[in-house]
């Protein structure tokens, strides 16, 4: 009787976990096999590194490039796992962008030199190869790769790792590999994406026994998707004519979604079910262009218990209320106008208190939460502190939080709102800031015509828009800085770091005697760790979502139209104008875009316009309801 009871309990547990008896053992054995294959493939990569290091001593171009291709492909076989285990080391030492990087978590300022596979790819395809530098760089890469290999031999593999790593790699293929971000010299992104998908397929096939009693048809569907995706890449290998939109919508997106389905059908717990730590990406999201793909609470450093619709509604009132300024004449919305996609439409903003020109214009707050750094110069890394700096700045709101609290306490309506939303604290600095953050969390923009098309909610998209997107991801190289899905500097596939770029933005439109804008940007943002020459004139890469509504453009508003901006990029930025910008991160040569291609690019960017939040002004404000002060002008309108 006791034995029967034990069997019954075990059966109940298995059913509760949606996993039949024996599946745990199968997945455990699969995990051992998968991890061992990864270590074997890592060893192959190390051998390719060694061979390439030897080849460099012979200085034979053809053999060097052939062995380089083998090395790159051997890395692409393991990229999904090596990055999943050690993303920070990959960024700094293995396959990060070929630019020097500050070490974020160092106690003292430390600039890590440009190194790794992308740096080598650039060096190998320069007009004159610097063999000495190549040898130095490959020794560095070999050293760091061996160190990582030793660490990974001791790693404990968990059954969810393949699915997490594979889905992250799908994002990487779409956003970084197929755009040639990963291959800045060779431009072999399509060929390397093919290797990545084949590797993901081979690792997935090791899971076949786990599907024997669960869903063989699901297993076969995913294999078919992998096979058809690789076939497409083999047949459409010309970068200039590659249809990024078709491949994403019909191959990568179904793969991304089906991998999630397989993950769940096997009863394997997901990261969000196992960890209380917030993640950048909502793992359960089936689509990277979903409204909820990115976890807004992570970026705002706000736990889910501190997020609610009531608090967002209160934050909306505060955002539009001039009571938050010292002279009761300006609100947050005075510089972030809904009808201008929450920008101010000025070349340079005016201080609400001083009425003097500020250094830069006001960027949109739509999707602004999706970043790890705020302000044009990446000065602040905490959204609450960013809000505080604007409020207390003597040229902007010019007010202290105790003064705001005193004002809001004059309103019975506000008192009731705060007591309802924040019963433990009422009106104070934290609750005011948190309410505004809650409102900003609602200002997301992923419902443009383009988004709805890629999600399958509408069936057609105009041909110029499709051509424009393919140019954006391809020949025009826009997506190597403006990454999907935010089309900002938020770097995939982890979406943790926000990039800045040196474009050589001029101070005026004078093409005869162009001069570099004197604003040093990130170099003078007050963060001691970033006082390096490579950050001079470096500015945050903004989102191009709603860009149709957010002119004038650049931090100094130097360009009035989208046409002027595209022309600036097409000509090679400041270097293309003839300005001396030694640290420019934008390529200084022409993109050779035709007039039609430039217009197609603009058509695509206009298809990212989302008007969902552009009529969000409150009808009235609660403070001083019977007073003339309630008839205050905000954003050109009186309440």
| Judgement on whether residues 381 and 476 belong to the same structural domain of the protein | no
Residue 3 lies in a domain: no
467 and 548 co-located in one domain? yes
**612 located within any domain:** no
Per-residue pLDDT at 22 = 87
Residue 631 lies in a domain: no
Q: What is the pLDDT of residues 263-278, one digit of tens each?
A: 999 999 999 999 888 8
- 325 and 469 fall within a common domain: no
Q: Exposure of 8 by Cβ count < 10 A (0-12 exposed, 13-18 middle, 19+ buried)? A: exposed
Same domain for 438 and 456: no
Across 14-18, 137-141, 359-363, 618-622, least confident range: 14-18
* Domain-embedded: residue 629: no
Residue 592 near residue 613 (C-beta atoms within 8 A)? no
Q: Residues 455, 437: one domain?
A: no
Answer whether residue 104 shows pLDDT above 90.
no
* Average pLDDT over every residue of 75-83: 98
Q: Half-sphere exposure of residue 178, counting CA atoms within 13 Å on the CB side? A: 32
- Kindly state whether residues 194 and 320 are assigned to the same domain: no
Question: What are 114's two structure tokens?
Answer: 């440009």
Peptide bond into 623 cis (omega under 30): no
User: In Å, what is the CA distance from 246 to each residue of 173, 291, 455, 599?
Assistant: 14, 21, 12, 21
Residue 489 belongs to what H/E stretch? Answer: none
Distances (CA, A) of 232 to 67, 76, 246, 459, 477: 25, 18, 10, 22, 22
pLDDT tens digits along 461-472: 999 999 999 999
In terms of Cβ atoms closer than 10 Å to its own Cβ (0-12, 13-18, 19+), residue 423 is exposed
| Pair 473, 531 in one domain | yes
Domain finish residue from 445, 464, 479: 445
Dihedral sign computed on CA atoms, order 590, 594, 595, 597: negative
Residues in the chain: 639
Give the pLDDT score at 6: 37
Q: Give the per-residue pLDDT at 354.
A: 74
Q: What are phi and psi of 281, to 5 degrees?
A: -110, 140
455 in Cβ contact with 249 (< 8 Å): no
**Span 133-155, pLDDT tens digits:** 999 999 999 999 999 999 999 99
Q: Where is the domain boundary, 396, 416, 445? A: 445
Average pLDDT, the chain: 92
DSSP code at position 582: T
Give me the CATH number covering residue 598. 1.10.760.10
User: Nearest-CA neighbor of 197 among 153, 256, 240, 243?
Assistant: 256
Distance CA 463, CA 603 (A): 9
List Cβ neighbours of 555 (8 Å cut-off, separation of 6 or more).
360, 361, 376, 505, 517, 519, 521, 539
pLDDT at position 303: 84
Residue 96 exposure: Cα atoms within 13 Å on the Cβ side: 21
174 falls within a domain:
yes
Average pLDDT on 451-466 reads 97
pLDDT given for residue 21 in this prediction: 62
Q: Please indicate, yes or no, whether residues 395 and 491 belong to a single structural domain of this protein.
A: no
**pLDDT at residue 326 in the model:** 93
Residue 105 has what pLDDT?
A: 74
In tens, the pLDDT along 500-532 reads 999 999 999 999 999 999 999 999 999 988 899
Q: Residue 21 domain-assigned? A: yes
Shared-domain flag, residues 532 and 394: no
Residues 113-118, mean pLDDT to the nearest whole number: 97
Which bin fits 206, alpha (ψ -120 to 50), beta or left (φ > 0)?
A: alpha
Same domain, 190 and 76: yes
Residue 624 lies in a domain: no
> How many structural domains are present in the chain?
3
Q: Report if residue 391 sits inside a domain.
A: yes
Please check whether residues 55 and 173 belong to one and the same domain: yes
Q: How many CB atoms lie within 10 A of CB 75?
A: 25
Higher-scoring residue by pLDDT: 511, 8: 511
Same-domain status, 467 and 512: yes
- DSSP letter for 177, please: I
Looking at 428, 445, 462, the residue that finishes a domain is 445
Residue 51 contacts residue 238 (beta carbons within 8 Å): no
Domain, as residue range, for 391? 299-445
Q: Is the pLDDT of residue 214 over 90?
A: no
């Amino acid at each position: 009787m006791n034995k029967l009871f034990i069997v019954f309990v075990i059966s109940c547990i298995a059913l509760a976990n949606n996993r039949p008896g024996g599946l745990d053992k199968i997945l455990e054995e699969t995990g051992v096999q998968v991890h061992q294959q990864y270590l074997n493939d890592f060893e192959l990569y190390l051998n390719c590194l060694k061979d390439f290091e030897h080849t460099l001593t012979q200085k034979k171009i053809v053999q060097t490039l052939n062995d380089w291709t083998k090395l790159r492909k051997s890395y692409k076989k393991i990229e999904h796992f090596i990055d999943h285990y050690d993303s920070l080391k990959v960024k700094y030492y293995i396959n990060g962008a070929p630019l020097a990087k500050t070490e974020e978590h160092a106690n003292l300022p430390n600039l890590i030199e440009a190194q790794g596979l992308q740096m080598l790819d650039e060096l190998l395809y320069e007009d004159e190869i610097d063999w000495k530098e190549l040898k130095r760089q490959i020794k560095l890469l070999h050293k760091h790769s061996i160190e990582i290999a030793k660490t990974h031999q001791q790693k404990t593999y968990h059954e969810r790792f393949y699915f997490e790593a594979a889905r992250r790699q799908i994002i990487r293929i779409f956003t970084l590999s197929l755009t040639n971000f990963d291959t800045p010299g060779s431009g072999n992104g399509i060929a390397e994406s093919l290797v990545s998908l084949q590797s993901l397929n081979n690792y997935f096939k090791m899971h076949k026994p786990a599907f024997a009693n669960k869903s063989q048809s699901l297993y076969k569907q995913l294999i078919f998707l992998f096979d058809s995706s690789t076939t497409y890449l083999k047949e459409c290998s010309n970068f200039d004519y590659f249809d990024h939109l078709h491949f994403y919508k019909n191959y990568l997106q179904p793969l991304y979604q089906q991998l999630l389905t397989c993950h769940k059908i096997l009863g394997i717990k997901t990261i969000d079910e196992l960890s209380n730590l917030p993640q950048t990406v909502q793992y359960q999201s089936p689509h990277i262009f979903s409204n909820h793909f990115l976890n807004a609470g992570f970026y705002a450093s706000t736990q889910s218990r501190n997020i609610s619709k009531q608090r967002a509604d209160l934050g909306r009132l505060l955002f539009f209320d001039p009571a938050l300024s010292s002279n009761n004449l300006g609100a947050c919305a005075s510089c972030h106008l809904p009808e201008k996609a929450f920008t101010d439409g000025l070349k340079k903003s005016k201080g609400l208190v001083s009425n003097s020109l500020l250094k830069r214009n006001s960027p949109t707050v739509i999707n602004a939460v999706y970043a790890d750094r705020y302000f044009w110069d990446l000065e602040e890394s905490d959204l609450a502190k960013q809000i505080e700096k604007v409020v207390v700045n003597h040229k902007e709101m010019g007010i202290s939080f105790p003064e705001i609290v005193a004002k809001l306490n004059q309103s019975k309506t506000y008192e009731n709102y705060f007591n309802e939303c924040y019963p433990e604290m009422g009106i104070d600095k934290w609750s005011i800031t948190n309410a505004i953050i809650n409102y900003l969390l609602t200002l997301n923009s992923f419902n443009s015509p383009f988004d709805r098309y890629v999600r399958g909610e509408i069936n057609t998209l105009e041909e110029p828009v499709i051509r424009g997107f393919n140019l954006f991801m391809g020949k025009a190289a826009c997506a190597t800085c403006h990454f999907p899905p935010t089309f900002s500097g938020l770097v995939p596939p982890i979406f943790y770091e926000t990039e800045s770029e040196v474009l050589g933005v001029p101070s005026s439109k004078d093409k005869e005697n162009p001069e570099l804008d004197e604003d040093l940007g990130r170099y003078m943002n007050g963060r001691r760790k970033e006082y390096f020459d490579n950050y001079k004139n470096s500015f945050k890469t903004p989102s191009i979502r709603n860009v149709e509504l957010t002119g004038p453009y650049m931090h100094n508003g130097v360009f009035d139209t989208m046409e002027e901006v595209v022309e600036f990029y097409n000509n090679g930025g400041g270097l293309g104008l003839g300005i001396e910008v030694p640290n420019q991160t934008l390529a200084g040569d022409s993109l050779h875009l035709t007039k039609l291609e430039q217009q197609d690019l603009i058509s695509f960017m206009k298809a990212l316009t989302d008007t969902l939040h552009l009529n969000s002004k409150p009808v009235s404000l609660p403070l001083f309801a019977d007073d003339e002060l309630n008839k205050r002008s905000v954003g050109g309108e009186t309440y």
